[in-house]
Amino acid sequence: DIQMTQSPSSLSAFVGDRVIITCRASQSISNYLHWYQQRPGKAPKLLISAASGLQSGVPPRFSGSGSGTDFTLTINGLQPEDFATYYCQQSYNTLYTFGQGTSLEIK
């Protein structure tokens, strides 16, 4: 299976900050990389598909980039509702995998 490694595992930031979360694949996955946000007690929400495709209704302060093995999720101008856990997920082959998650907390 393709392993997905996110960093950092947790992150503290202020409202208004810019944060970057990284996701690294154990082999090249082209752009078959997607990002989710999960709030406590809720199902994950798709933010970005195919590395950089912002989903309808997701604020433009969220952006994604990368290809191959290294990917980033950037949040510009953190808002209170952005404090949540973020996951990357690969769909390069028929066996999907998630990263371990990045918990974003208010400083």
Q: How far is the CB of 32 from another protein (least distance, A)?
A: 6
Site string for another protein, 53-92 (x = CB under 8 A): --x-----------------------------x-x-x-x-
Residues contacting another protein: total by CB under 8 A: 24
34 in contact with another protein (CB under 8 A): yes
46 in contact with another protein (CB under 8 A): yes
**CA-CA-CA-CA torsion sign (85, 32, 90, 96):** positive
Contact 99, 87 (CB under 8 A): yes
**CA-CA-CA-CA torsion sign (80, 12, 5, 64):** positive
